[in-house]
Amino acid sequence: FQLSEDVVNRMKESPQSKRDNQRSPQLSSGTAPSSPAAEGKSKSSTGTVSPSQKSSAAEQELYRRYEQEQALVQEELLRLAKREREAASEALNTALQRERNNANEERQRVAQLVSNKK
């Protein structure tokens, strides 16, 4: 059993041509993709996510986290401002009460001095 020279040559070329076909896949039109972007588009249409879509999703997730953190910071600032207002109000009330007490003590002393002179 002897193979013809033509068959032997085709067998020798076969592994090389198979490797070439694997490196540049053919689209349905019979042409290889013109650019990596074309490959990305064809992949995204089959359900896989392209790197730009992954990046966009990651950026959206980071921005969502950023907004959540900003909301928490705003809430904390509002709580701090409220506590400061309450503390200032309490300090003012304490000072006013002290002044009222001092004024009352002063009136009592004046009244006592007036009553002692009579």
Q: In the chain, where are the structural domains located?
A: 55-117
Please tell me the pTM assigned to this model: 0.44
pLDDT digits (tens), the chain, 118 positions: 666 777 777 777 755 555 555 554 444 444 444 444 444 444 445 556 677 777 888 899 999 999 999 999 999 999 999 999 999 999 999 999 999 999 999 999 999 998 888 6
Secondary structure of residue 48 in the 3-state scheme: coil
Distance CA 66, CA 58 (A): 12
Residue 53: what pLDDT? 77
Distance CA 28, CA 13 (A): 24
User: What are the strands, taking DSSP E only, across 2-106?
Assistant: none
